[in-house]
Amino acid sequence: IVEYLVTTCSANIEQRGMYEVQDDHSVHKVTPLWCAAVAGKVKVVELLVKHGADVNSESDTGSTPVRSACFMTHLEIVTILVKAQADIQRPNYNGGTCLINSVQSVELCEFLLKHGADVNAQDIQCKTALHYAIQEHRFATTKLLLQYGAIPFLVSRYGDDALQTACIKGAWEIFDYLVDNLPYSPERVASCFELLGSTFLDEHHDSQKAIQYWKAACDIREKFGLKKSLDSRNPTDKSPSYTDRREFMDWAELESIALDLDAMRMQSLLICERILGRLHKDTIYRIIYRGAAYADSLQYQHCIDLWKYALELRVDKDSILFFDTCYTAQALVKLLLD
């Protein structure tokens, strides 16, 4: 049908139409080649390329056919487009590259890297393909990117490098690989063990893993004589927002609270705030999440204390009119009225 329309009817092969994405029902204005590439129609792609379709035509979000084919993991179509001189370096309007869109496939990533893809290209969040591979727990892709020169010390706009991203996402295999193969200081490794433990407690509800990782951090600190860097906060200071808890300083203090799940959860928040910073998005998210958990268990005052603190952090981080700030304020007011 496509061949008939192109050859007999002289259809405009660059005429744009509306394409609806099945997953999120978003609608994009695209060319026939873009649509065929996303849909995985190899023969149609070959025909359109043969008749001179623009292989670098962009959708309304700046995405090229080859970039979108990468997102759908259509390696055969990517190969056809690259042979036709498609630009694999061109990002969309958010800075997302072909390589970033391909982290789900080691084979596709390797193909792009062999054809000159920039392994350290960053999007508007300053994230590289390595960040996204780690976020998605793509261990094989992570190793491949590092082999091709990915820089694990590049940080995103939130201050997360490869190791910190692995801790935040609970990617323990990648965490172990990075610690074993890169020259991190004992202090950095200990801090990241603490952060990883917090993730397992908050995100995976695994208190045993949390204790295991926190104990590993205690062992490193004891071995190298390292004390936790609490900045301006005195080690004996207690936080009203965290039910007057203070962070454990050694294994003896950790062991004393190991059976107190509520105390463990407060430790997790204290650790996140110290390592990630007060204004890190994951710190604030975990505070809000813990507050919601308190509300679900009818401990409303604990929820109010945490959400008030989260609101203060949102105002400091963004502004009082920022969407996330307004949303947090709305949730807090609703809780107080209920």
Is residue 304 within 8 A of residue 337, CB to CB? The reply is no
3-state secondary structure of 279: coil
CA 1, 53, 57 angle in degrees (round to 5)? 120
What share of the chain in percent tops pLDDT 70?
Answer: 97
- Chain position carrying tokens 């502004």: 319
Give the total residue count for the chain.
338
pLDDT band with cut points at 50, 70 and 90 for residue 244: confident
Euclidean distance between CA atoms 237 and 218, whole angstroms: 20
Euclidean distance between CA atoms 294 and 271, whole angstroms: 19
Q: Dump pLDDT digits (tens) for 270-325.
A: 999 999 999 999 999 999 999 999 999 999 999 999 999 999 999 999 999 999 99
Q: Kindly state which CATH superfamily the domain 1-87 is placed in.
A: Ankyrin repeat-containing domain (1.25.40.20)
Phi and psi torsions of 124, nearest 5° = -70, -15
Would you say residue 220 has pLDDT above 50? Answer: yes
Crossing angle of helices 75-83/42-50, nearest 10°? Answer: 10
Q: Which two tokens stand for residue 237?
A: 């200071």
- Chain position carrying tokens 């960053």: 122
Q: Dump pLDDT digits (tens) for 48-80.
A: 999 999 999 999 999 999 999 999 999 999 999
Radius of gyration of the chain (CA): 25
Euclidean distance between CA atoms 335 and 300, whole angstroms: 8
